[in-house]
A and B are shown apart, each in its own frame.
Chain A
């Protein structure tokens, strides 16, 4: 009975999306043409919603590395590292991550989602306290829930609110965990990490930062917003993913605490799942080396960011935040967002349609992710398509009122 009710509930969600012609889940990339182009519904389409920030997925080097690993190590690991042993390539990638961050410990996971689940459930027991930014990714909320700890959202990017909440915890604040992200994936805003860390330290708590969207994008060496904020030596845990700037699949955590390695003995999302496939590991490792030796990739990315951001601003769009590789156009309503999104697709431009409850503050967004792989011409095409899509939608005036 309860399952049939659940099916009905989901069917309701599905049909609502369908009626509004706003179901991103129906998009099929029929053929990949490059890191920034695919065929969708038979149409050549520019991809501006794939988190492929450095555009590495078709680099000859990454393909060769993955191909070689596939041939030498096989198609899968067929087991968990704790039960079935590690491949040398897993251990080597962990070493590279630790070295890249200048930290004593690194662990890799099968996805970024599992990295957050694995770290949070590994560190926290029922009754422990954890403060999370209200805009945190689902994997952070889910990790907290799964751990059984008491968790408390604080106002997004608000160190004062964090302080107020930690104070209310009384003695429990000491040793509590504070969780934030680097670059936030929906609005494209970044966390005030130095300020959040100062508050965290004031109470003797620990800080964990998810850099899923900021690895390879922020910081002199691409180590994320933590590096850009100058607090790499003081942050306790950094998690992230291979699935965005590294163009592969998997997740990681690095820490200044060597004891991170102990989580291998008590983190179920680490223990009870197969380790990443050799090809994924090889691709991620190649990409990590590549971003270290090619800082100019970030320059290309940021120049594309400036071009897209400037172009959309000029159209009068209301944008989510300061320029970042995530450029989110706010629109007035769910329906309007869906209309513009479909117009863009028809014009051969793919972006992300983000509506509540997936959007953080009830906003309806057309979210673009910029890539170093985009050509300036592609960026211009995206801007032009936005201009035309917006002017064709009935509420153009309401959508682009010009205020930030």
Chain B
């Protein structure tokens, strides 16, 4: 990972933490390996809200089908980074 993409990834990750904290997090410490459903307990409505926030924040559009491969915060950050790159 070049420094640029590394920085961008960190920025995305911090942005995601900020958004995720507003959901009921069951008082867990958010980390890259935190599982959105198993650890955080997000339901399908939460996921939908989260996606819309992500889209507005990063000005991208996230296909719902991509989400079936996303389990952890890290997976999500990686997908967001990929979509940002595809868009630019």
- A-side residues, CB < 8 A to B, are 134, 144-145, 148-153, 155, 165, 168-170, 356-357, 361-362
The proximity string for B residues 42-74 relative to A, scoring 1 for CB distances below 8 Å and 0 otherwise, is: 011100100110010001111111100000000
| Given A144-B65, A168-B60, A356 contacting B45 (CB threshold 8 A) | yes
- Asked whether A168 lies within 8 Å of B59 as measured between CB atoms, the reply is yes
Top 4 nearest A-B pairs (CB, nearest first) are A150-B63, A168-B61, A362-B45, A151-B64
Assess whether B61 is in contact with A153, with CB atoms less than 8 Å apart: no
Question: When chains A and B are docked, how far (Å) is the Cα of A99 from the Cα of B40?
Answer: 53
Residue of B nearest to A166 (CB): B61
Given contacts A153-B48, A168-B55, contact A145 B43 (CB under 8 A): no
Give the distance in Å from the alpha carbon of A145 to the alpha carbon of B68 in the complex.
10
Of chain B, the residue at the smallest CB distance from A145 is B65
In angstroms, how far is the closest chain A Cβ from the Cβ of B80? 14
Point out the residues of chain B lying under 8 angstroms from A151, CB to CB. Answer: 63-65
Least Cβ distance of A162 to chain B in Å?
Answer: 12
Alpha-carbon separation in the docked complex, A169 to B63 (Å) = 11
Most A CB contacts (10 A, CB to CB) among B52, B55, B87 go to B52
Asked, given contacts A153-B48, A155-B52, A168-B55, whether A357 binds B43 with beta carbons under 8 Å apart, the answer is yes
List of A residues within 8 angstroms of B65 by Cβ: 144-145, 148-151
In the assembled complex, the Cα of A134 lies from the Cα of B87 at a distance in Å of 23
Give the chain A neighbours of B52 by CB distance below 8 A.
Answer: 155
Which of B45, B60, B61, B87 is within 8 Å of A361, CB to CB? B45
Say how far A13's CB is from chain B's closest CB, in angstroms. 13
Task: Count chain B residues whose beta carbon lies closer than 8 angstroms to a beta carbon of A.
Answer: 16
> Can you give 17 contacting A-B residue pairs, CB < 8 Å?
A134-B48, A144-B64, A144-B65, A145-B65, A148-B65, A149-B65, A150-B65, A151-B63, A151-B64, A153-B48, A165-B55, A168-B55, A168-B60, A168-B61, A170-B87, A357-B43, A357-B44
Distance in Å: Cβ of B29 to nearest Cβ of chain A: 26
Complex Cα gap A169–B87 (Å): 9
Residues of B within 8 A of A357 (CB): 43-45
> CA–CA, A150 to B79, complex, Å?
14
Which chain B residue shows the least CB distance to A362? B45
B43: nearest residue on chain A (CB-CB)?
Answer: A357
Nearest B residue to A357, CB-CB: B44
CB distance from B88 to the nearest CB of A (A): 11
Beta-carbon contact of B44 and A152 below 8 Å: no
Q: Which residues of A contact B63 (CB under 8 A)?
A: 150-152
Name the residue on A nearest B68 (C-beta).
Answer: A145
Task: Point out the residues of chain B lying under 8 angstroms from A145, CB to CB.
Answer: 65
| Distance in angstroms between the alpha carbons of A327 and B10 in the assembled complex | 48
Minimum CB–CB distance from B51 to chain A (whole Å) comes to 8
Q: Measured between alpha carbons, how far is A151 from B66 in the docked complex, in Å?
A: 9
Minimal beta-carbon separation of B68 from chain A (angstroms)? 8
- A167 CB to nearest B CB, Å: 9
Please tell me if the beta carbons of A165 and B61 are within 8 angstroms of each other in the complex: yes
Instruction: Find out whether the CB atom of A152 lies under 8 angstroms from the CB atom of B45.
Output: no
* Shortest beta-carbon distance from A223 to chain B in Å: 31
Q: Which residue of B lies closest to A130 (CB)?
A: B63
CB distance from A9 to the nearest CB of B (A): 12
Give the chain B neighbours of A165 by CB distance below 8 A: 55, 61
Task: Choose one: B43, B59, B64, B87; the contact of A152 (CB below 8 Å).
Answer: B64
User: Given contacts A168-B55, A356-B43, are A152 and B61 in contact (CB under 8 A)?
Assistant: yes
Task: For the complex formed, measure the closest distance between the CB of B36 and the CB atoms of chain A, giving whole angstroms.
Answer: 15
Instruction: Say how far A225's CB is from chain B's closest CB, in angstroms.
Output: 24
Closest Cβ neighbor of B55 among chain A residues? A168
A362 CB contacts on chain B under 8 angstroms: 45
CB proximity of B6 to chain A, nearest CB, Å: 26
